Amino acid sequence: MMQKLISVIHFLPNELTIALLAAMPIVELRAAIPVGMGVFHFSPAQAYIWSVLGNLIPLVLLFLFLPKLITTLSRYSPKIHRIFERYFFRLSTKHADALDRYGALFLVIFVGIPHPGGGVWTASLLAILFRMHPKFAVPAIIGGVLVSGLVVLSLTEASIKLF
């Protein structure tokens, strides 16, 4: 799958390819840093910087547009409103206790530990869903991205040295 994705965007500069890969849900930094170092032979600093920058793109877009989109779609489409309610209810009940207890620190930890389903996309959705003020949520998510990037970078460097 990764090879197909790279072949589709091969005409872009390598740095932009890594940034876009990092901006994609699910793969985010966990794929962008290893691809940057392994496929494009970036230095660790290059892979880290381009991946972090790319991973922050959805953060900005989600906080700018998602609340307005949810409000508009919910107002004009009962079916979409039910889908949002069902999805957000499931997401909120899963993480409500941790968010109530730890607040923005939860977002740092949630994003900072690289695991499937935990990243900028999900953390932004949680912050918007729980109506966390962006002045608390955004720095927390950025902090988590920086930590996650360092963890993935360390694991990638160790893996490259092994092989």
Token reading at 99: 């968010």
Q: Report the DSSP beta bridge partners of residue 118.
A: 115
According to the model, what pLDDT value does residue 6 have?
A: 60
Under 8 Å between Cβ of 47 and 32: yes
Identify the residue whose tokens are 């923005």.
Answer: 104
Residues sharing a CB contact under 8 Å with residue 83, sequence separation 6 or more, in sequence order: none
44-61, pLDDT tens digit by residue?
A: 999 999 999 999 999 999
User: Looking at the whole model, is its pTM more than 0.75?
Assistant: yes
52-111, pLDDT tens digit by residue?
A: 999 999 999 999 998 888 888 878 888 887 887 787 767 767 777 777 777 889 899 999
Q: Tell which phi-psi region holds residue 5, choosing left (phi > 0), alpha (psi between -120 and 50) or beta.
A: alpha
The yes-or-no verdict on residue 28 having pLDDT over 80 is yes
